[in-house]
Amino acid sequence: MKFMTAYLPIVLTWLVFGGIHSITAGSRFKQRFQSVSPFIQRYYRLLYNGLSVLTFLPVLVALNVAPVNFLSAWPGSAWVGNLVVGMGILLGLFALKSYNLAEFIGWPASQATRAEHLQQLGLLRYVRHPLYSATILAIGGVVVQHPDWKHVLFGLSAFLYIRIGIHFEEKKLVRTFGDAYIRYRQRTPMLIPAI
C-alpha cells in the first residue's frame, strides 16, 4: 500500500495532463472555444501549447518528489542513458524539420500558410509519428540512466498516453486527409521504421 501511494501521483498527474490535453485537442472543444472571440481563434494553438506546458509541470513535480526504489541491484548506466537521450533529442530536432515550426507552436502569423496537403517529407517518409518516436527514445534513455520505479512508471505512463494519443490523432488525420492518409498509414510504420 505504501508503495502505491508513493507512486500514484505520477500516474494521476499523467492522467490529468492526458485528459486535459486530449479534450483541448478535440475538434468540438476547439470549435466551441474558438467561437468565443477572434482573439482566441487566432491564438488557440499557442494557448493550447501553453496550457499543455502548465498541466505537464505537476507530472514533473510528482516525478521529482517520488522516492527512489531501484528495480534491481543494477544502478543504471549514465553514459548509455545519455547516449540514448541524446539520440532521442537529435531525432526530435531532425523530425521538427518536417513541420512548419511557427504553425506547430501556434504563432498566429502562420495561420495563412497552414498546409492543406499531407506532409510526407523528412522523417515522415519513414514513420508516421517521428516526434513521438523521439520522445519514447529519450524517455527510454532516462529509464536506462535511472532504472527505478518512479522513472519506469513515468515512462510507461508516457508511452500509454502517446499510444492513446496516436489513436485519436490518426482518426483526425483520416477525417482531414481521407484516402491519402489511409494509403500513407498502410505503407508507413507508426513509430519504428521498417528495415
Q: How confident is the model at residue 39 (pLDDT cuts 50, 70, 90)?
A: confident
What is the CA 2 to chain-centroid distance, rounded?
30
Distance CA 51, CA 58 (A): 12
Single out the residue of 151, 121, 144 nearest to residue 60, CA to CA: 151
Share of the chain above pLDDT 70, in %: 95
Backbone φ and ψ of 126, nearest 5°: -105, -35
In this predicted structure, what is the pLDDT of residue 106?
A: 83
Contact 169, 191 (CB under 8 A): no
Q: Which residues have a Cβ under 8 Å from the Cβ of 11 and sit 6 or more positions away? A: 153, 157
Helices (DSSP H) in the chain: which residue ranges?
Answer: 2-25, 27-34, 38-65, 78-96, 101-105, 130-145, 149-177, 179-187
192 three-state secondary structure: coil
Lowest mean pLDDT among 17-31, 84-98, 109-123, 148-162: 109-123
Q: What SS3 state is found at 73?
A: coil
Q: By the 8 A CB rule, do 58 and 13 touch?
A: yes
Q: Which three cell numbers stand for residue 75?
A: 544502478
**166 is written with which cell numbers?**
496516436
Q: Which three cell numbers stand for residue 158?
A: 508516457
The Cα–Cα gap between 182 and 177 comes to 8
Q: How far apart are CA 120 and CA 188, in angstroms?
A: 10
- State how far the Cα of 16 lies from the Cα of 57, in Å rounded to an integer: 11
Mean of all residue pLDDT scores within the chain: 91
Where are the chain's structural domains?
A: 2-187
Per-residue pLDDT tens digits for 49-62: 999 999 999 999 99
Kindly state the percentage of the chain with pLDDT values over 90.
69
